[in-house]
């Protein structure tokens, strides 16, 4: 059965290089049983460091993606994680 992907987008930062501004964007969406995270808008000046930082992500054109089983992603901390 096909599923409908839902998600959100956020601009997470920016970089200025040669008088041009680039903004990195993070997307999150769920498709079937996988929650995906993607980073895009990484300028050429940050491409080499991004390869190291995002080493567990798959590169797809100008976007790095990583998927997790949907049931492993929680939006709120579990109560047991808050106790000290």
Give domain status of residue 43, yes or no. Answer: yes
Give domain status of residue 29, yes or no. Answer: yes
Give domain status of residue 49, yes or no. Answer: yes
- Which tens digits make up the pLDDT trace of 8-42? 555 445 555 555 556 888 999 998 899 999 999 88
Element (H, E) at 20: strand 20-31
Do residues 54 and 39 touch, judged by C-beta distance below 8 A?
A: yes
Q: Residue 69 is encoded by which pair of tokens?
A: 């089983």
Tell me which residue range forms the domain holding 55.
Answer: 7-70
Give domain status of residue 2, yes or no. Answer: no
Give domain status of residue 13, yes or no. Answer: yes
pTM of the complete model: 0.58
Give domain status of residue 75, yes or no. Answer: no
Give domain status of residue 82, yes or no. Answer: no
pLDDT at 45: 80
Q: How many structural domains compose the chain?
A: 1
């Amino acid at each position: 059965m096909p599923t409908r992907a839902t998600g959100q987008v956020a601009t997470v930062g920016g970089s200025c290089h040669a008088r041009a501004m680039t903004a990195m964007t993070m997307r999150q969406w769920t498709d079937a049983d996988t929650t995906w995270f993607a980073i895009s808008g990484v300028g050429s000046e940050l491409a080499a460091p991004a390869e190291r930082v995002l080493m567990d992500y798959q590169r797809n054109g100008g976007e790095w993606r990583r998927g997790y089983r949907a049931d492993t992603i929680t939006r709120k901390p579990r109560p047991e994680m808050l106790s000290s």
